[in-house]
Amino acid sequence: VPLETVKIVLVETSHPGNIGATARAMKNMGLCRLSLVRPNQFPSSEATARASGADDVLYRAEICADLPQAIAGIPLVIGASARDRSIPWPVLTPAECARKIVANSGQAAIVFGREHSGLTNEELDLCGYLLRIPTNPHFASLNVAAAVQLAAYELRLAALAGIPTQPVRTADPPALAQELAHFYAHLEQTLVELDFLNPQKPKKLMRRLHRLFNRVELRASEVAILRGMLTAAQRAAEQKIRADE
Amino acid sequence: VPLETVKIVLVETSHPGNIGATARAMKNMGLCRLSLVRPNQFPSSEATARASGADDVLYRAEICADLPQAIAGIPLVIGASARDRSIPWPVLTPAECARKIVANSGQAAIVFGREHSGLTNEELDLCGYLLRIPTNPHFASLNVAAAVQLAAYELRLAALAGIPTQPVRTADPPALAQELAHFYAHLEQTLVELDFLNPQKPKKLMRRLHRLFNRVELRASEVAILRGMLTAAQRAAEQKIRADE
């Protein structure tokens, strides 16, 4: 998973809580390289509190004097930007950004700007691409740590996409067709014995019950529970017949 | 865009800052319905500060005494859970969760638990599906507002993708939460009368049955059929008791 080389750069962050929340968001998704360009306040107890256990990311964060220092030697630099820019620029969605970075073996940085004013045009000039996160046009400004969270989430998805997914839970396999057929026969028989189903006209009710239980994709263990319930109802119905006699 | 009907439910949130950050995350993605179940502190200046302009979402948030109140009448309820549960449960990724909600015309709630302990098993019993956000297994616990941010982001992507919505079958509407609650109570009572359920230890079996029937998204007409079956079984059980006497 090429996430450990991806660098997250925060430029002139005002609130130390956002630095801590960024560290937590990164570690939650498997990222660990954080650069802070002229942070307003760091280290800070507020950053540590909001990191909530991602102290190692904060501890290893590098402090830089400017953006060129933070991205020195990194071949792919992507700047997060909420604003429309008049100069045409290649704009990536979070998913496209993530795929590009994973395709680049994680040799990349994503740069996030100031809480209120984002990145300057001079800083954006250092970025090969813009990352734009789709938002409500009437309330577009994301918290910086929330923006990092979304970018890191898409990075994790893109990295995992190359890894085969977990096998199906064999401990609780789906019911086989034959098991389902036996269940439906048992259900029909029980409903007849309970005087709930007219054996002359079983079709309409049984069709509705088929539709209901087919939707649920029953596990084999669940069929066993349901058939146990049916057997209990049959025992009661049998006693009822004896009582009636 | 069917996002305005989607409800976000926060259960027993400790830190008011997380409530504010949730409101901001929601509004950034076009969501507006927030329910707070027994918040530790609300309203709060910290919540308002972190909402950063999403005051309207906070102002209109409803305060609920418990989860059933928050989800009353909502046909699709999805619970966020980081933990592996031993009992099988349909688990959705954030993207799957979002597609399911958009296909359901936004008639849905996503429920997020306490900062340190998540949702209880009793609360999860009220959820038809689990939402699991993929995270670093060595540092899996997301901030609650960050989890809301990711779920809301996927909802926005799904809504923008223009997935055709299911026609609302007004002739056969989904069962309401209250109808489901009555069905489960009737089921439990019947199983006790059939001597199938030990009333001293009802929990494990009833939990499995909750999960089974929650998956099926029962229609109101189907609940009526199932309850008719239960009544027939109860009549048989009653005769059985008389026969035993």
B141 touches chain A (CB under 8 A): yes
If you average pLDDT over each of A46-60, A87-101, B183-197, which comes out highest?
A46-60
Do the beta carbons of residue A97 and residue A110 sit within 8 Å? yes
Structure-model confidence comparison of residues A77 and B202, the more confident one:
A77
Q: How far is CA B88 from the centre of its chain?
A: 16
Q: What is the pLDDT of residues A149-200, one digit of tens each?
A: 999 999 999 998 865 444 444 567 778 878 888 899 999 999 999 989 888 8
Pick among B135, B136, B219 to test the A interface (most A CBs inside 10 A): B136
Q: d(Cα A231, Cα A235) in Å, to the nearest integer?
A: 6
Where would I find the H helices in chain B? 16-28, 45-51, 55-59, 67-71, 94-103, 121-124, 144-160, 177-193, 203-215, 220-244
Kindly report, residue by residue over B91-103, the tens digit of the pLDDT.
899 999 999 999 9
Residue B136 to residue A30, Cβ atoms within 8 A: yes
Mark which residues 195-224 of B lie under 8 Å from A by CB. Answer: 195-196, 205, 208-209, 212-213, 215-218, 221-222
CB pair distance less than 8 Å for A240 and B244: no
Q: 3-state class of B234 per DSSP?
A: helix
Residues from chain B contacting residue A143 (CB–CB below 8 Å): 21, 24-25, 52
- Over the stretch B14-42, which tens digit does the pLDDT of each residue have? 999 999 999 999 999 999 999 999 999 99
Q: Find which of A190, A216, A238 to mutate to test the B interface (most B CBs within 10 Å of its CB).
A: A216
How distant, in Å, are the alpha carbons of B21, B67, B159 from that of B109? 18, 11, 15
Minimum-distance CB partner of A236 among B136, B156, B194: B194
In whole angstroms, give the CA distance from residue B68 to residue B74. Answer: 10
Phi, psi dihedrals of residue B82, rounded to the nearest 5°: -90, -25
Confidence bin at B48 (pLDDT 50/70/90):
very high
Residue numbers in B near A194 (CB within 8 A): 229, 232-233, 235-236
Confidence class of residue B1 from pLDDT cuts 50, 70 and 90? low
Look at B139 and A225 and tell me if their CB atoms are within 8 Å: no
Question: CA of B54: how far to CAs of A79, A242, B33, B155, B159, in Å?
Answer: 25, 69, 12, 18, 21
What's the mean per-residue pLDDT of chain B? Answer: 89
The whole-angstrom separation of Cα A149 and Cα B135 is 11
| Count of CA atoms in the C-beta half-sphere (13 A) of B159 | 21
Among A21, A142, A225, beta carbon nearest to B208: A225
Q: What are phi and psi of B92, to 5 degrees?
A: -115, 145
Q: Do B27 and A136 touch (CB under 8 A)?
A: yes
Whole-number Å distance between alpha carbons of A47 and A23? 9
- Quick check: helix, strand or coil at residue B162? coil
The single residue listed with the structure tokens 């319930």 is A229
Rg over alpha carbons for chain A, rounded to the nearest Å, is 30
Find chain A residues with C-beta within 8 A of B162's C-beta: none
Q: Which of A81-95, A166-180, B179-193, B204-218 has the lowest mean pLDDT?
A: A166-180
Query: Rounded to an integer, what distance in angstroms lies between the CA atom of residue A10 and that of residue A37?
Result: 6
Instruction: Classify the phi-psi angles of A142: left when phi > 0, otherwise alpha if psi is within -120 to 50, otherwise beta.
Output: beta
The interface pTM score, or ipTM, of the predicted complex is 0.75
pLDDT tens, residue by residue, B205-237:
888 898 888 877 788 888 999 999 999 999 988
* Record: contact B150-A149, CB cut-off 8 A: yes
Question: If contacts are CB pairs under 8 Å, which of residues 15-74 in chain A contact chain B?
Answer: 21, 24-25, 27-30, 52-54
CB B188 within 8 A of CB B233: no
d(CA A71, nearest CA chain B) in Å: 25
Angle between helix axes A144-160 and A94-103 (nearest 10 degrees) is: 50
Q: Which residues pair with B64 in a beta bridge?
A: B37
Per-residue pLDDT tens over the stretch B154-176: 999 999 887 554 444 456 788 88
pLDDT at A24 over 60: yes
pLDDT at position A62: 97
Q: In the prediction, which pLDDT does B165 show?
A: 46
> Is the predicted pLDDT of residue A236 greater than 70, yes or no?
yes
Give me the residue from A135, A146, A196 closest to B232, CB to CB: A196
What is the SS3 string spanning chain A?
CCCCCCEEEEECCCCHHHHHHHHHHHHHCCCCEEEEECCCCCCCHHHHHHHCCCHHHHHCCEEECCHHHHCCCCCEEEEECCCCCCCCCCEECHHHHHHHHHHCCCCEEEEECECCCECCHHHHCCCCEEECCCCCCCCCCCCHHHHHHHHHHHHHHHHHCCCCCCCCCCCCCECCHHHHHHHHHHHHHHHHHCCCCCCCCCHHHHHHHHHHHHHCCCEHHHHHHHHHHHHHHHHHHHHHHHHHC
Burial of A175 (0-12, 13-18, 19+ CB in 10 A): buried
Identify which of A105, A140, A223, A117 has the alpha carbon closest to the alpha carbon of residue A174. A223
pLDDT higher than 90, residue A112: yes
